[in-house]
Amino acid sequence: MRKLDMNELNRLDAEGFKNSEKNNFCIILDNVRSLNNVGSAFRTGDAFLVNKIYLCGITGTPPDREINKTALGATETVDWEHHSNTIDLVKKLKKEGWKIYAIEQVEPKIYLQDFKPNTQDKYAFIFGNEVQGVDEDLLPLCEGSIEIPQFGSKHSLNIAVTIGIVAWDYWSKSIE
């Protein structure tokens, strides 16, 4: 076994990323407080060729030193927009044909392993505030809610980890 050199990874440069075909999903950050989590969302979005990241409400926006610390340049590649009102954004995306899913613990729910995306559809995944989660007023606007099963004593995962799990799951199911 041998660790690959950076040149062997065949990564896209910024222009190559901008010109590449994106996956049919976007990330909505609903009032996310931690700038490190925002930066991680950009880095994960870059890794999985996310269509766009929507930064809503109090969610911080680039350029910002704390976001850049975890984004590692992904704010320069991933398309993003800020919206002051998440509900207005979700209504707009629904009109454009996006399927909206909250990543939240609610009833009824779809466990992540049971979520079956249709490769012809476009998906928007809402990730909520670190303490309050996805705003409850958004839930009626969603097609459903996806939950990652957990078995320990804690009731939630860090939002950056959750975004990574959901992005990987969507990507792996979309290539099947």
Count of domains for the chain:
1
Domain that holds residue 135: 21-174
Of 6 and 66, the structure prediction assigns the larger pLDDT to 66
Closest CA to 104 of 128, 122, 137, 123: 128
Does residue 114 belong to any structural domain of this protein?
yes
Tell me if 101 is assigned to some domain: yes
Q: How far apart are CA 150 and CA 147, in angstroms?
A: 9
**CATH code, domain carrying 129:** 3.40.1280.10
In a domain, 2, yes or no: no
| 13 is a domain residue | no
Residue-wise pLDDT tens digits, 71-118: 999 999 999 999 999 999 999 999 999 999 999 999 999 999 999 999
Q: What is the pTM of this model?
A: 0.95
The string of pLDDT tens digits covering residues 25-51 is 999 999 999 999 999 999 999 999 999
H or E stretch at 14: helix 14-19
Lowest mean pLDDT among 1-10, 38-47, 137-146, 155-164: 1-10
Question: Would 134 be classed as within a structural domain?
Answer: yes
Q: Does residue 3 belong to any structural domain of this protein? A: no
How far is the CA of 41 from the CAs of 73, 77, 106, 144, in angstroms? 12, 12, 23, 22
Average the pLDDT over 136-165 and give the result. 96
Residue 16 covered by a domain: no
14 in a structural domain: no
